[in-house]
Amino acid sequence: MSEYILEMHQITKEFTGVKALSNVNFKVEKGEIHCLIGENGAGKSTLMKVLSGVYPYGKYKGDIVFNGSIQQFNKINDSVDAGIAIIYQELALFPDLAVYENIFIGNEVENRGVLDWNQTIIESQKMLDKVNLKVNPETLIKDLGVGKQQLIEIAKALSKEVKLLILDEPTAALNEDDSENLLRLLRELKSQGITCIMISHKLKEVISIADKATVLRDGETICTLDASKGEINESIIIKNMVGREINAIYPKRENKIFGDKILELTNWCAYDAQLGRQVSKDVNLHVKQGEIIGLAGLMGSGRTELALSIFGNPKSYKLQGDLKLHGKSRQFKHTSEAMKAGIAYVTEDRKGDGLFLIQDIKSNISVANMKGISSNGIINVNEEIIVGEKYRKSMGIKASSLEQVVGNLSGGNQQKVSLGKWLFVNPNLLILDEPTRGIDVGAKFEIYTVMNKLISDGMSIIMISSELGEILGMSDRVYVMAKSEIKGVLTSEEASQEKIMQLATQ
Amino acid sequence: MKLYMEAKELISDNIRDYGMYIALIVIFITFSILTDGLFMSSRNLSNLLDSAGYIAVLAVGVMLVIVIRHIDLSIGFLAGFLGAIAAILLMQVGLSVYLVIPIILILGIIAGLATGFLVAKVGIPAFVATLAGWLIYRGALLLVTERTGTIIVQDDKFNAIGNGFIPSLMQVNGLHVLTLLVGALGILFYIYGAVSNRRNKMKYSFDVVSKQLFLLQLVFVSAIIAYITWILAGYNGFSWTVIVMLIVLLVYHFFTTKTVLGRHIYAVGSNPEAAHLSGINVSKITFLVFGSMGMLSALSGILFTARLQSATTTAGTLFELDAIAAAYVGGVSAAGGVGKVTGAIIGAVVMASLTNGMNLMGVGIAPQYIIRGSVLALAVIFDVTTRKRGK
């Protein structure tokens, strides 16, 4: 029986109004690879943020025991000093700095207060050897691929004499070769005695690498599975992750009737001059009236960029190809023109570029359609309240009043405000970008129900999603994207997790 | 007792909104005591409000600029320069005052749109673009005044804007009748607005204060308006500067709270990306806000030139910083999206009161700067700490 390197006891973390974690227990033995799995919003990232000191001691309830003593991390550096390194999904590298500078950033090699660059380069070479990466330490980060960047993040962690390495979906943006490479490295690190926690959505990976796996659901620990007892297999994991049959999650839609083509893209290309790369390549796609189109693919496959290029092109990509709306070729100069033509886009990042967090619910709902509540440019306050009240009821937004500030609502309610805002615009093509990211199962169900209602009212929906379950459960047809291209289209009968993943990782 | 508790809770819940008014009242009372009532005399109060005017209108403009997350440093010398142009048009070209004022305002709008173009279309940071403007307008001011030096303005109608008072119609017991009428109208207007607002909120079952407290609020605010009107009516009544300030207050208050464009300004300020994705034309809003800033700079230049009855080579020096300070004292947020027209005006009056009160007490210029700086820092500290409490 080996000892535990990490024990988290009864961890509870609340955000205004929502319990993100409730009495979570999580134990990791020394020298194992422990996977943390669960649906989006299950609380995995929150738990890791508690562990790494992003949420300081006192902002959560419960104890963290690391290396045998209770820890009180007040800031991220405290956990780093204790030997915990966390590598996030979004890499924290500086693209314009060289590899060696990145590896030792915040941990500089110095000689009486003066940086010793030669020594830094020598040390960084050692770290690169440890992760089996053959690049010149003086290469700039932006000149490396994502897979290599990921390895550099790990090298950076190793330079700090890490005891516990945490990886948050490390392979989400990697292709199969790079993923394999990374997993091999993790096994090697394990043989050197480094403990590893890996958050992952990819069950195959989990099955191939995990010694143990803990499943979280809705902020609670469901179970810890042990590979040596043969408990880590797909059916057991899925059963524990989902906790219910898939039919109960995705409401059924009756009488599917599809009409004419609403939107049709032919050889659609978009070029991002700022990044200097093609973000959409020769996309051919159509949406019929009454259809829910699933747009699947990995992170960074170009789904959001495609949506933005349709929705008035706010990032000013250079566009080529033909966009037909209701059979007529159109070009939009501004998002407002796309809106006038009946397109709405609910953003993936509702806090970043979706909502006005410091404003109240009613102004968030009315903002995209001020014409609807004003005459001659003067706002009719009563009308605004009536509209707000209507969407509060129909969306089921839970709030003390319409004057509540949106920043204080839970993720699910914020998403409903976002949806309400766009329904008030009354579009006939609704583009939903990750509509249920980071919200709980109950709110998800409500949002799916709203989507079905909209379809039966004659709307069409393009749904971008990274959750395969959602794609399979809701879509009538699925387009799969990878590397800014459409790699294939599947009908709902043809579509399966395997087929989609196969296309997405091409 | 229950009423007291409710009032206490209301004030502590809305301390950010009320803080400024409380500060202003405290400043007024303190100076009245320290100067044996001289501070609240008719003559001084009238003088104080006039001296706040040209900064107050700038503060309103720059408040909106800060709301959309930009800054404008060029407004002081733009005001000075346009004031000099006004003096030249009046005295050297010989245009009528009724022509000069619209010309100057339009020139101001054009100057503001030029800044807007640099910021919105070319993408230059507002700090740099307006720093360039600061230099350019300073040079332009020197250029037009260097031949003649100070230009004396001998146009009574123009000078009245900075020094004159509204006609009295008739004097009753030495009181200014039109001023009393305007004050009374103001009170009626306020009561009507407050009552209809409350009725509306009750209709949609929003939280409203209890009837007693509401009445108390009405009486309190009305009493303050009445008191100030009464004091001013005892001297020469409302000055034209105060009237200009009130018009700017009313127009901009209505514009920012009741119009679509006003709402769009706050949307752009609180989240520019979301605003763009909501179909709002962010660069149009940027043009609008800088255009309005230019117009208000022109207005400020007119007020200042008229007040001095002349255009000097240094007019407008440091106005921009006084206006920015007033806006921050008035509760604008540097993070964007938050700020009120009433706040900016009150902020300007607070700063002017400090200068005026300390002058009356004979405080030297050196401690004055230090005290005003401390008040600015305190106001922003107060704003930041009360915001952290949520709400």
Closest residue, chain B, to A386 (C-alpha): B204
Residue A367 sits in the same domain as residue A334: no
Token code pair at residue A360? 């109240």
DSSP H or E run through B263: helix B260-270
**Which option is the CATH number for B16-164+240-388: 1.10.10, 1.20.1740, 1.10.3470, 1.10.287?**
1.10.3470
pLDDT for the residue numbered A106: 80
For B357-374, what is the mean pLDDT? 94
Q: Which residues of chain B are within 8 Å of residue A338 when distances are taken between CB atoms? A: 279
Query: Of A338, A370, A385, which has the smallest distance from its Cβ to B263's Cβ?
Result: A370
Cβ-defined contact of A421 to B278 (cutoff 8 Å):
yes
Q: Do B267 and A356 touch (CB under 8 A)?
A: yes
pLDDT score of A244: 56
How close does chain A come to B264, measured CA to CA in Å? 8
Question: Min CA distance, A348 vs chain B (Å)?
Answer: 11
pLDDT in tens, B33-47: 999 989 989 889 999
Does residue A504 have a pLDDT over 90?
Answer: no
Q: What is the mean pLDDT of chain B?
A: 91
With respect to residue A450, please indicate whether it lies within any of the assigned structural domains: no
CATH number at residue A225: 3.40.50.300
Residue-level pLDDT at A317: 92
Domain that residue A8 falls in: 4-246
Measured CA distances, A152 to A92, A147, A160 (Å): 10, 9, 13
Q: Do residue A400 and residue A506 come from a single domain?
A: no
Are A320 and A464 contained in the same domain?
yes
- B241 pLDDT higher than 50: yes
| Candidates A358, A377, A403; nearest CB to B270 | A358
A402 CB neighbours in chain B (<8 A) are 204, 206
- B51 pLDDT band, cuts 50/70/90, is very high
Is the domain of A367 the same as that of A474? no
Which residues of A fall within a CB distance of 8 Å from B261?
Answer: 377
Q: Looking at the structure, tell me whether residues A337 and A422 fall in a common domain.
A: no
To test the contact with chain B by mutation, choose from A309, A332, A351, A356 the residue with the greatest count of B C-beta atoms within 10 A, namely: A356
Among A186, A221, A246, identify where a domain stops: A246
Based on the fold, state whether residues A23 and A84 are members of the same structural domain.
yes
Strands A164-168 and A18-29: unpaired
A357 touches chain B (CB under 8 A): yes
Residue A312 lies in a domain: yes
Which of chain A's residues have a Cβ under 8 Å away from the Cβ of B259?
374, 377-379
Same domain, residue pair A11 and A127: yes
B164's tokens: 């004159």
**Pairing state between β A33-37 and A212-217:** parallel
Band (A1; pLDDT cuts 50, 70, 90): very low
Question: Are the beta carbons of B206 and A401 separated by less than 8 Å?
Answer: yes
Residue B1: pLDDT over 70: no
Q: For position B391, what pLDDT does the model report? A: 40
Instruction: Please list every residue in chain B whose beta carbon sits closer than 8 Å to the beta carbon of residue A385.
Output: 204
pLDDT over 90 for what percent of chain A? 40
Which pLDDT band, with edges at 50, 70 and 90, does A41 fall under?
low
Of the residues B204, B263, B278, the best mutation for testing chain A's interface (the one with the most A CB atoms within 10 Å of its CB) is B278
Put simply, the answer to whether A385 touches B204 (Cβ < 8 Å) is yes
Confirm whether A451 is domain-assigned: no
If you measure CA to CA, which chain A residue comes closest to B336? A358
Identify whether A206 is part of a domain: yes
- Give the model's pLDDT for residue A245: 52
| Number of domains chain A is built from | 3
Q: Report A:111-130 residues touching B (Cβ under 8 A).
A: none
Residue B262 near residue B256 (C-beta atoms within 8 A): yes
- Shared domain for A337 and A386, answered yes or no, is no
The full DSSP string for A331-376 is: --SSHHHHHHTTEEEE-S-IIIII--TTSBHHHHHHGGGGGGGEET
Interchain contact A380–B (C-beta under 8 A) = no
Distance CA A339, CA B76 (A): 41
> What does A28-57 look like in DSSP terms, one character per residue?
EETT-EEEEE--TTSSHHHHHHHHHTSS-T
What tens digit of pLDDT does each residue of B159-173 get?
999 989 988 777 777
Q: Is the pLDDT of residue B272 over 70?
A: yes
Question: How much is the pLDDT for A67?
Answer: 87
- The two three-digit tokens of residue B331, written as one number: 């509760």
Q: How far apart are the C-alpha atoms of A236 and A239, rounded to whole Å?
A: 5
Contact A334 B279 (CB under 8 A): yes
**Mean pLDDT in residue range B72-100:** 96
List of chain A residues whose C-beta atoms are within 8 Å of the C-beta of residue B278: 335, 367-368, 421
The answer to the question of residue A453 being in a domain is: no
Contact criterion met (CB < 8 Å) for A336 and B279: yes
SS3 of residue A487 by DSSP: strand
Are residues A22 and A80 part of one domain?
yes
Proportion of chain B above pLDDT 90, given as a percent: 71
Confidence class of residue A243 from pLDDT cuts 50, 70 and 90? low
Token pair of B276, please?
């763009």
In a domain, A270, yes or no: yes
User: Higher pLDDT residue, A138 or B205?
Assistant: A138
Ranges of each domain in chain B: 16-164+240-388, 166-238
Q: Which amino acid is at A166?
A: I
pLDDT for position A108: 84
The H or E element that residue B311 is part of is: strand B310-311
pLDDT in tens, B11-23: 777 777 778 888 8
Q: Give the residue from A246, A275, A293 where a domain finishes.
A: A246
**Is residue A213 classed exposed, middle or buried when 0-12, 13-18 and 19+ CB atoms within 10 A define those classes?**
buried
Contacts of residue A312 in chain B, CB cutoff 8 Å?
A: 279
Helices B156-163 and B282-308, interaxial angle, to 10°? 100
Cβ count within 10 A of residue A115: 13
Please indicate whether, in this complex, the C-beta atoms of B337 and A358 are within 8 angstroms of each other: yes
Q: How confident is the model over B90-138, as pLDDT tens digits?
A: 999 999 999 999 999 999 999 999 999 999 999 999 999 999 999 999 9
Least confident of A159-173, A277-291, A449-463, B360-374: A159-173
B7 vs B24: which has the higher pLDDT: B24
Do A358 and B279 count as a contact with CB atoms less than 8 A apart? no
Test A334 with B277 for CB contact under 8 angstroms: no
Chain B hits for A426, CB-CB cut-off 8 Å, are: none
Residue of A nearest to B199 (CA): A382
Greatest Cα pair distance in chain A:
76
Q: Provide the pLDDT for residue A248.
A: 63
**Inter-chain residue contact A356 with B274, CB threshold 8 Å:** yes
For residues A129 and A61, state if they share a domain: yes
Q: Could A352 and B261 be called an inter-chain contact, meaning their C-beta atoms sit closer than 8 Å?
A: no
How close does chain B come to A275, measured CA to CA in Å? 18
Taking CB atoms and an 8 Å limit, are A314 and B390 in contact across chains? no
B338 contact residues in A (CB cutoff 8 A): 358
Yes or no: say if B47 and B162 are a contact pair by the CB < 8 Å rule: no
Most confident stretch, A129-143, A471-485, B102-116: B102-116
Residue A454 is assigned to a structural domain of this protein: no
Give the one of A335, A371, A377 whose C-beta lies nearest to B277's C-beta.
Answer: A335
Question: Is there a single domain that holds both residue A328 and residue A363?
Answer: no
Within-domain flag for A123: yes
